[in-house]
Amino acid sequence: MKYLLTALAVCIAFTTTAQQTSADRILYGPITKDSLLAVPYSKWFNKGFAEYNSNNEIKTKLLNVSTKGISIEIFFGNWCGDSKREVPRFLKVLDEIKFNIANIKLIAVGGSDSLYKQSPKGEDKGKGIFKVPVFIVYKNGVEINRINEFPVLSLEKDLLLILNGENYSPNYRSFASLNKWLNDGSLLDSNITIRSFALQLKPLVNSEHELNSLGYLLLKQNFKKEALIIFRINANLYPESGNVLSSLGEGYLKNDYKEKAVAALESSLTFTKDLVAVKEILELLYEAKGLK
């Protein structure tokens, strides 16, 4: 259900050429660190930068790791709580290990709607920026790994594992596969079954909300067919979740499959106890039946 997306955190940044209003103060596009040192962003940036105490032992190890050919892209948003927390901390770690600032790119994505994690000139294109912040680490221009939204261990420990080429699996591991399928057309290939997708994603998905949030993001961006596939995969993984089934019903409804929408929504009611959720499902059900 849509109301569950309040847990979805994303972020954005500022460029001297970016357009913004005094009302929203949204940063948008490529920026430099100096942009974050300006008011009003300095209030949260300086605080987060100053208060983060990185692990000295890990920091010493990072200082001894070769960073030749390493570059980093940071996608974030100044309206996002996770970005406000993690970006200052990550930049402090990079500063303390004397990482070349010329090899860091800060890119703000989004706009007035937090579901649009897009940059103005397509810097995000094909990179699977579904949640922010995202810290993408490259070697000689090829991505070797990334930190999604928040660290698995700590920012400095995660970075050390990545730079050392050790086994590291970021949060939301399913997004890498889904992004590949979105880009190569597999997600809409009718010869590939939902069951096949679900089996591949099952060991990668942490909760029902992971794919649900991505499905609603795609709906918001008017990728209705792709969103429906995501909802169908999620329903295969969580067949007894009222929340997942109601999202599936909404996905069918947005694609004008009203009979299937009715079936999914009626099924979701059997697993839903929350009265607010029941009300939302009934509203979708009435719409699917042409009663509103």
**In CATH, what class is 175-288?**
mainly alpha
What local confidence, expressed as pLDDT, does residue 123 receive? 85
| CA–CA dist 270, 252 (Å, integer) | 18
Q: Which two tokens stand for residue 238?
A: 């969580």
pLDDT band at 221; cut points 50, 70, 90 = confident
What local confidence, expressed as pLDDT, does residue 117 receive? 58
What local confidence, expressed as pLDDT, does residue 4 receive? 34
What local confidence, expressed as pLDDT, does residue 168 receive? 95
The answer to whether the CB of 243 falls within 8 A of the CB of 264 is no
Per-residue pLDDT tens over the stretch 54-90 = 999 999 999 999 999 999 999 999 889 999 999 999 9
Residue 7 has pLDDT above 90, yes or no: no
Nearest to 148 by CA among 159, 156, 139, 136: 136
Least confident of 113-117, 188-192, 214-218, 270-274: 113-117
What local confidence, expressed as pLDDT, does residue 118 receive? 66
Per-residue pLDDT tens over the stretch 127-176 = 888 889 999 999 999 999 999 999 999 999 999 999 999 999 999 999 99
Task: Select the CATH number that applies to the domain covering 2-171 from these four: 3.40.50.300, 3.40.30.10, 3.30.9.60, 3.40.50.1370.
Answer: 3.40.30.10
| CA–CA dist 196, 233 (Å, integer) | 9
| CA–CA dist 5, 212 (Å, integer) | 8
| CA–CA dist 164, 282 (Å, integer) | 52
Q: Where are the domains of the chain?
A: 2-171, 175-288
What local confidence, expressed as pLDDT, does residue 3 receive? 33
Q: How many whole angstroms from its chain centre is CA 272?
A: 27
**One fold for 2-171 and 175-288:** no
